[in-house]
Amino acid sequence: MPVLERYFHSAELGRRWTAPEGVLPSSAGGRPGCPQGPLPWDLPEMIRMVKLVWKSKSELQATKQRGVLENEDALHSFAGDVRLRGQTGVPAERRGSYPFIDFRLLNNTTHSGEIGTKKKVKRLLSFQRYFHASRLLRGIIPQAPLHLLDEDYLGQARHMLSKVGMWDFDIFLFDRLTNGNSLVTLLCHLFNTHGLIHHFKLDMVTLHRFLVMVQEDYHSQNPYHNAVHAADVTQAMNCYLKEPKLASFLTPLDIMLGLLAAAAHDVDHPGVNQPFLIKTNHHLANLYQNMSVLENHHWRSTIGMLRESRLLAHLPKEMTQDIEQQLGSLILATDINRQNEFLTRLKAHLHNEDLRLEDVHDRHFMLQIALKCADICNPCRIWEMSKQWSERVCEEFYRQGDLEQKFELEISPLCNQQKDSIPSIQIGFMTYIVEPLFREWARFTGNSTLSENMLSHLSHNKAQWKSLLPTQHRSSSGGGGSPDHAGQGTENEEQTVTKGNAP
C-alpha cells in the first residue's frame, strides 16, 4: 500500500483531540477564551500531520520523477536568471547565500565534462515558508478588518471595468476597489472582452494562476515600479489597441501579445536603474553583459512564469516559441537606451508613408511603439493622476540616491533630493522623452481624438510643473527643464528618467 494511502487509512487519522482541562480551544480567527466546541485536532497535532503528509508526498513525487528528470532533454535553453526580490543593497559576497527556492533557473547549462540535465525548479514554497505564511496553521486573527461593504466595492469595480477604454480611467481607485488586485482583475476582464480566452482555448483557472504569479512578482514596496504601474500601462495599451488606425489590422495574437507584454514589462523590478546594477557589479548586469539588463530580466522572468503555469502548453510548440520571442522583442523595446532608434525609424516610416499594417513585421513594430507610449504615458494623463505618478517615480529616484550615498557611490543624475526637484525632473522628462514620441504617435493615428486628448494633457501638465518651479529657475527653464539639466541634453534625460533605466 502506498505511503500516503497507508497514512490516510490509519486509525490515528480518525482520532479526535480535545483541549486540556481548563483551557478553551479557539478556532483560527476566533477569540481565545470564547466558549466553542472542541476542535477535531489541536494545532500542534495538525502541524505534525501536515508535515508528515508533506514529507510523504514529496518522497513519492521524488521517486516517480527522478528517472524522468535525468533523461529529459533541455529545450529552449535560457541563461540562468534569478529573482531579484528587491535585494539591491546586498554585498556581492552575500549573493550566493539566498535560499535555493528564490532562484528561477530555467535550465542548467552544460559544463565541460558534465552531463547537462534539465531540472525543474518548482514555484511551490517549502513547508516552512508556507507554514509561516499560513494564518490557518498559525491560528492568528487576520490583521485586515472585515469589510462589510466588499460587495459594494466589487460592484464599483465592475462598473469601472465598463469604462476601461476611457483615458481618464483612475487606476488608483480601481486598485483600492479590487483590494490590490488591479492587474489580475483588469487582465482577466480584457482577455474575456477581447475573446482571447475562447480563441486560444485558455483554461481560466490556469490564466488566473499565471496572472497572480505576474502580479506577485512585482514589488509593492517600490513607489513606482509595482503592479499598479503594470495595470496602468496595460490599461493604456488597451486604449492604443483600439485606435482605429491600428485596430482593424490586429489579430487575436497581436492583442494577446500586447496585453501580456504590457502586464509583465517591469516584472520583478528591483527599484533601481540599469547604471546602478552595473556600477555595483550586480549578477544580472554580468549575466546580460550590461545590455538591456532589466528588460532581459523582465522578459526571462515572464517566460519562466508562462512555462511554470503551462498557460500555453496546449498550443503548438512552434507557436509558443514564436510567442516567447515576440514577447521578448516587445519588452526589450522599452529599453530607453533604444529610444532614438525607435523614434528615428518611426519618423522614417511616417515620412515615406510605407507602413503596411497588413504585414506582420510592421504590425509588430507599431506594437512596440504602442508599448513604449503606454510605458511613459503618465504625463499625458489628467493632472491629478499624472502628479501622483510623478511623485512616485521621483520618490524611487531619491531612494536610489540615498542607497548610493549609503554605499559611498556617486549619486546618479536626478536621484539627489537636495538638488533635483520634482518639477525640474518632470519638465525635462516631458521635453526630451515624452513629447517627441507622442507627436509621432499622433501623426500615425491621424491626430485621433485620443492623441489630441493626450497632447492636451501633456501641455497642461507641463505648464503646471513650470508654475511649481522655484522662482530662480523659471526664466532659464524655457521649454525644457531646469538649469541643472538644461545643458545635459537628451542623453542624460533618456538614461535616467524613464522605465528602462529609472529606479
Residue ranges of domains in the chain? 155-496
> Are the C-beta atoms of 278 and 246 separated by less than 8 Å?
no
CA angle, residues 21, 23, 25, in degrees to nearest 5: 115
User: Does residue 265 have a known ligand-binding role?
Assistant: yes
Flag whether the pTM goes above 0.75.
no
Does the annotation flag 426 for ligand binding?
Answer: yes
pLDDT at res. 107: 39
Per-residue confidence of the chain (503 residues) as pLDDT tens digits? 443 343 334 333 333 334 434 434 444 344 344 444 444 445 556 556 656 655 655 555 555 555 444 444 433 435 456 444 444 443 333 333 333 333 343 333 334 344 443 333 333 333 333 433 433 333 333 344 434 446 677 889 999 999 999 999 999 999 999 999 999 999 999 999 999 999 999 999 999 999 999 999 999 999 999 999 999 999 999 999 999 999 999 999 999 999 999 999 999 999 999 999 999 999 999 999 999 999 999 999 999 999 999 999 999 999 999 999 999 999 999 999 999 999 999 999 999 999 999 999 999 999 999 999 999 999 999 999 999 999 999 999 999 999 999 999 999 999 999 999 999 999 999 999 999 999 999 999 999 999 999 999 999 999 999 999 976 565 554 443 333 333 333 444 444 454 433 43
Give the CA diameter of the chain.
Answer: 88
Catalytic annotation, pick one of 194, 219, 225, 349:
225
**Residues ≥6 apart with Cβ < 8 Å to 430:** 379, 458, 461, 462, 465, 480
Ligand-binding site membership of 225 (annotated): yes
Q: Does 229 count as an annotated binding residue? A: yes
- DSSP conformation class of 11: G
- φ/ψ of residue 126, rounded to 5: -70, 160
In residues, how long is the chain? 503
Contact 230, 263 (CB under 8 A): yes
Residue 225 designated active-site? yes
Grid cell listed for 237:
495599451
Superfamily of domain 155-496: 3'5'-cyclic nucleotide phosphodiesterase, catalytic domain (1.10.1300.10)
DSSP 68-125: HHHH----S--------TT-TT--GGGGGGS-GGG---S-PPPPTTS---------PP
Q: Is 62 annotated as a binding residue?
A: no
